[in-house]
Homo-oligomer: A and B are copies of this chain.
Amino acid sequence: MGAVTSNAISIGELSRLSGVSPHTLRFYEAEGVLKPAGRAANGHRRYRREDVLWLEFVLRFKVTGMPLAEIRQYAVLRAQGEKTLQPRLTMLKLHRERLVTKINELSTCAGVLDDKIRTYRKMIAKSRVPAKKAAK
């Protein structure tokens, strides 16, 4: 049975798994968003289950528009252990607020967009009817 290897995966596998290119994964590591990955004997990066979970968390942050710098800040706190629970909670709450605001903003825009679409449909319908009448 494999000794140290256990269930660690390569950068290529993580890339396929996460949809993030190997380039970008290394870039994230350089930026301090991902902690320096463990290495195999040949120097290749080895990602473990917890690394995959953290990446998923990071991607959720990203999707919600958090800038990398802020994600890194959170990552740094996390690396410092339990004593930073409070500041991390503060960051999460703040981000939650922004997220709710953003969702509301987008919903408003979606409403306006719907109105616009309805108007367009009507305009297109009207511009077609006279043509039919004329043809009659």
Contact = CB atoms under 8 A, between A and B. Distances in A.
Interface string A81-118: 01001101100110110011011011101101110110
Interface stretch (A3-11, A13-21, A45-53, A119-127): A119-127
Contacts of A73: none
Contact of A106 (B99, B113, B114, B124): B99
What's the number of copies of this chain in the assembled complex? Answer: 2
A99 B124 contact: no
Secondary structure at the A interface, as helix, strand, loop or mixed, is helix
A102 B96 contact: no
Most B C-beta atoms less than 10 A away, residue of A63, A95, A105, A109? A109
A39 interface: no
Interface of A: 60, 63-64, 82, 85-86, 88-89, 92-93, 95-96, 99-100, 102-103, 105-107, 109-110, 112-114, 116-117, 120-121, 123-124, 127
